[in-house]
Amino acid sequence: MLVLSLNAPRKATKLDVYVSLGSNIDREKNLSRALGSLKAHFGPVVCSSVYESKAVGFVGAPFLNLVTGFETTRDLIEVSRTLKSIENKCGRRRDGPRYSPRTLDLDLLLFGGLVVRENGLCLPRDEITLYAFVLKPLAEVAGDKVHPTLGKSFSELWREFDDETSSLVNVNLDLSSYCGDANGRGHETL
């Protein structure tokens, strides 16, 4: 396990980054805009399937969720700021309750194998093992990667996941113009 201080210098090596996307307001439009922005900022992204899930923590419209992955040499703070900027451009409001409808939610799940608990950043993100709408799509795109603190692959964590209250519905949403590798394939791992 590597614990990083946010002020520590880092060589410009490529790291695998995984981000959870969710929206329950203008869902398809906001997810498409976000994926286009992620691709513009970070280059090729891989994408999981898209799932519909119930709102958690409040009564509201269902969410569409997926996980994307990309490689970057940018530092953690720059990636985090870029994600927040993309949320803002999609109309994300931060003045309401924590659990409320969202135009866009971009949650940084993993940044290489870093373990960070500093300045409001928590990596790996706790939600990975709490919610099916995060773990299942992460297992699709990073199944062989190992959770930095639990020492198990995400595929293994998904197989062990036991939450009968989670109902995920696979949604057929064409994201091929945003997702895939250089050959246009999607659902690949980094």
Q: What is the DSSP string of the chain?
A: -EE--TTS------EEEEEEEEESSSHHHHHHHHHHHHHHHHS-BEE--EEEE--SSS--PPEEEEEEEEEE-S-HHHHHHHHHHHHHHTT---SS-SSS--S-EEEEEEETTEEEEETTEEES-GGGGT-HHHHHHHHHHHTTSB-TTT-SBHHHHHHH---TT---EEE----TTTBS-TTS--S---
Instruction: State what percent of residues in the chain have pLDDT above 70.
Output: 79
Which of 79-83, 119-123, 147-151, 155-159 has the least mean pLDDT? 119-123
The answer to whether residue 92 sits within a structural domain is yes
Name the band, by pLDDT with cuts 50, 70 and 90, for residue 5. very low
The answer to whether residue 71 sits within a structural domain is yes
Write down the pTM of the prediction.
0.86
The answer to whether residue 133 sits within a structural domain is yes
Query: Range of 103's domain?
Result: 13-163
Contact 125, 46 (CB under 8 A): no
Which of 86-90, 136-140, 141-145, 167-171 has the least mean pLDDT? 86-90
**pLDDT per position as a tens digit, 97-134:** 555 577 788 999 999 999 999 888 899 999 999 999 99
The answer to whether residue 155 sits within a structural domain is yes
**Chain center to CA of 144:** 16
The answer to whether residue 181 sits within a structural domain is no
**pLDDT per position as a tens digit, 48-71:** 999 999 877 667 789 999 999 999
Cα angle 106-107-112, degrees, rounded to a multiple of 5? 120
CATH, residue 47: 3.30.70.560
**Chain center to CA of 181:** 17
Decide which of 25 and 147 is more confident. 147
pLDDT of residue 96: 64
Which of 27-41, 52-66, 151-165 has the least mean pLDDT? 52-66
Across the chain, mean pLDDT equals: 84
Residue 66 token pair: 């997926």
**pLDDT per position as a tens digit, 167-187:** 889 999 888 888 874 333 444
State the total domains in the chain: 1
